[in-house]
Amino acid sequence: MKWQRFVSVPVFLAIILLGFVYYVTIFIFLEDWLGLQSSAGSLNALIFTLLASLCVFSFSICVLTEPGHVPSTYVPDVEDIGASDQGSTKTGVQGRHCDKCSAYKPPRAHHCRSCRRCILKMDHHCKWINNCVGYRNYKAFLVLLLYATMATIYSSVVIISCAVQKDWNFTEKIPLKIFYIVSGMMIPGLSLTLGTLLGWHIYLVIHNMTTIEVFGPNMLKWLCPTAVSHLKDGIAFPTTRDNS
């Protein structure tokens, strides 16, 4: 069952972290800064709630979507067989044979030890979603990183703004100061980590494949993690020369 992927300690911790960031941002820092009853506070709460909801939705898609497995009927192309006879075994058919699955695997497919099967265009196995990041959920993973980075940056701005305008001329609330300091270090650090990971994957997309291959030709659907109708079988990856 796909829902069983949620039964995982890292997934549970990720959900707890998301809930913690949402709670402290809205009900502690934003309330202390602008007040949730004000128009500015309500607007900021609405924007951050939207970002958090998009994070939850994208996270669920990453967990529940199959990354893509190699069809049992897959066999290498005849041209690949000819190339393997002339080239090295690392780039030929023998190099694309999975000993653990006892089957051939297409280009960019790799065997995952955690999933115990070959994954199409496998990027890595992510313990935080208890799933592989592969051909069919790679877009959802990128969109999740985007929304999560935006949400944590937004939260960092709220925390800093709240800390700047707050009156710190008191000594009886030392635990509150510690909470502000810890939150001010943790959430911006989280946004930096997520932003770095997002930038790294954008770099990989730009240098390893076209943006169209991941996001699709319709720009209006780029930020929707479920808009993957442009994906094919994940076995063949045509190049510009192949289409000319």
CB 117 within 8 A of CB 189: no
How many whole angstroms separate alpha carbon 204 and alpha carbon 210?
10
Which DSSP string corresponds to the chain? -GGGGG-SHHHHHHHHHHHHHHHIIIIIIIHHHT-TTSHHHHHHHHHHHHHHHHHHHHHHHHHHS---B--TT----HHHHHHHHHS-TTTSTGGGEETTTTEE--TT-EEETTTTEEETT--EEETTTTEEE-TTTHHHHHHHHHHHHHHHHHHHHHHHHHHHHS----SS-HHHHHHHHHHHHHHHHHHHHHHHHHHHHHHHHHHHS-HHHHH-S-GGGTT-TT--TT---SS----HHHH-
Angle ∠(132,133,137) on CA atoms, nearest 5: 115
| Catalytic sites, residue numbers | 126
